[in-house]
Structure 1
């Protein structure tokens, strides 16, 4: 039984009081209070209203109990709803935590070599390497294709992020058809060595030393020591060639070689670092350099200098411009014009019946423009026709005679095909081999020249001595002065030759060694930021003081200069020097140590370039 102090009871009483009060107020608004009789009547009317809360026939305690039960029901309902919500949230949380993802964050598809076309189901994703993000988990049909390589069509299941790599197998050349695996290995080894000797190391790839080595390791014998050694030889030569190209300013050639290394030697971190460094160097050249290269390329094109001279042709200049700005339309146009003119000349030669000349011309197109698939296809077509033609009987000595005659007339480019033919048909005497090597040297094909000079036998004394000296010339052309001197000294020790007499060799050696001595004795220029003290009121300005082989110069608010003979320098206070510029003495302030460096540097230059020493 509820007592007087029960909270439910208090709430019910409060409710009744509030309801009675509201009823009274409402009644009061409708009934004016004019007299005591009216108040009595009003009181009589208010009595039924106050009885609405608790009926005269129902005990007050029963109403309070019913209110208490109602409140209890509301509490249990609230607790039940809360429990259901908590259970739902818990289940949802567990689901979210344990739910498997529907996509992978990232899938990277790699191929060796790179540049293969990637296709998933019916969608193309460009050339490898390809990075796919937020790819739906599931099974796909992966298609990988690259010219010259066997295509890959494979069902793959994508379930987690990460890289996947595919090593592509080369399509066997037709020449290997019908041969046993052992015969194929021997043939590819021979082809690889021959390509290396020609200087065709790996770029363009098809038919190169690397190509034949990869045919062995990827298709026939993955553990082949020959392939591993040849790949390393090619890599070393490629690095040397890239460094040589960079040192002589042929940045486009260096870029091409480094890109080749990155594609075909994916683990070569040195190549990646060198390529990145070169790209930074190219990016700093700017638009002005590109404009100058395009002007030169256009002039060379108009003059008909398509590919020769090698470093002053339309091809060379446009290639350099594209190395800096790959999207330059003008450079692309000039490059395409060169390609079209070369291809046209090849087709015209073929139309005249000169299949050999036509093939060679188009082969040059494939070498200069390796991305041109149509040119490569055309070369293979013409080569097949050439093989199908009946072999014409010819005097084996005719090629040798023609080649040597053209060589003596200094028609080196024309002499090369006949001399090559003479070497291949067995009439390649030491004289022919030397003439072929020298023809390659004079047409700036240094790798081929180097290869053939090394084939001159020691038994051909005079020719052999000339070959040794010529190897020194090639080393010098490549910027390797130390090797050049070494080769020239070797030839001198052998007594020289008709082409390289001892006096000539002495002169070459002395010129190099003299420059080396001069370089070792050459002082280093000095540049310092100094304060120029001038005027009676203690005025001063800051500028650059330079001491080098031309003399002494100050560039600031004032400019002073003097040659080495007319410059004089003396130390005053601990932080001041006097410099006499052709009789005009000026005072400068700088640290004592820097003042000493100025005096020593000037003294070394004056001594080095003194008339008595020249």
Structure 2
């Protein structure tokens, strides 16, 4: 008889094996998830070393209150941690000193951005004999006048240190209860709100967004700015796919030379829309920088032509559109001072100290070089070394640092050196371009004016290259 033993499988064994398989699957999936997170973290660390930046702020003198985007962050010297990338507004306020303001562009990098302020003291007027401790009325009047001028030309909150809000705050620092200064702050606030609302109404989301951010930075208690920022952010999210279209329009406008004009149909306008939809877009940022360079080159061309008023206006506009570039406002001020100096000049000529280098020899003669509309005159203590060059006999000139080389129509080259030659050449250009009233020459002038045939006049107008190959000739 054969006995058959049937082995019955225990149900508990099958259940344990299923649990083990499930457990191993969970372990593997968890390992994959951790590996993915670590890989993503490494990638983000490589591409973006830090999502926030730092600012090291120092002031002269120290002890000033530091404000970042309308929020007090400490007393100088101080380090501001966890500052987001992008454009921010820093202010330094110190008792007895003028308010200082600066636009700071925080970019990626491990090293903190160093910012320094040199505060200017308030020049208080001497108190009257009867009342002591009176406010510096002359200084307040000057600041209010500048605030009104800045508001009139549209410089409400930019450029830094030269806008209506800046001057109004400077007055309030001197006299906290000054009503005209408070009224100016309200005017600026209302103007910004209106600008943001108009921009949002016509679909210019970039201008609306930047204006609302300015409002929030300068007027933190303004509830309209926070509501506007939220509304514009929702509109940008709803139109996220428009960045590519705006970039194509920007490139077309740039190729056509429409850098800043006409309004709402230029490269800068379209690039602002791109950056509003996709902050940090590399192609848009590069093209935006090129727009600035092209417009700045045009402004410098106006400087060369003597159109200083146009150049100042263009530089001021650039300073408003590109507040991160501090050199633009500095250049505008430099040209404005030059323009005012030219306006206040009551004479039609200027003489500057110069040294004449005699052609063919190494000898030098010290004297003065006079620039006027009629030409150049070099006067030496001894009359034998003097030189007179009429404008029509000058074919070209070259100014390199402190040396001026003048080439005549006959090919002769005269060289002068001196520290003030640039000022003389600038005036010389202005006088040559200034229109002169047509008047019949006097008998004495007619008797001394040589006759010139048309062929000889044409020959004189041909420029002769200077030694470096560059020539400058004034229009006749």
Shorter-chain TM-score range: 0.3 to 0.5
TM-score by length of 1: 0.37
Q: Of the two structures, which has the highest relative contact order with CA contacts closer than 8 Å and spacing of 6 or more?
A: 2
Structure with the bigger percentage of strand: 2
TM-score by length of 2: 0.47
Larger Rg: 1
Structure with the bigger percentage of helix: 1
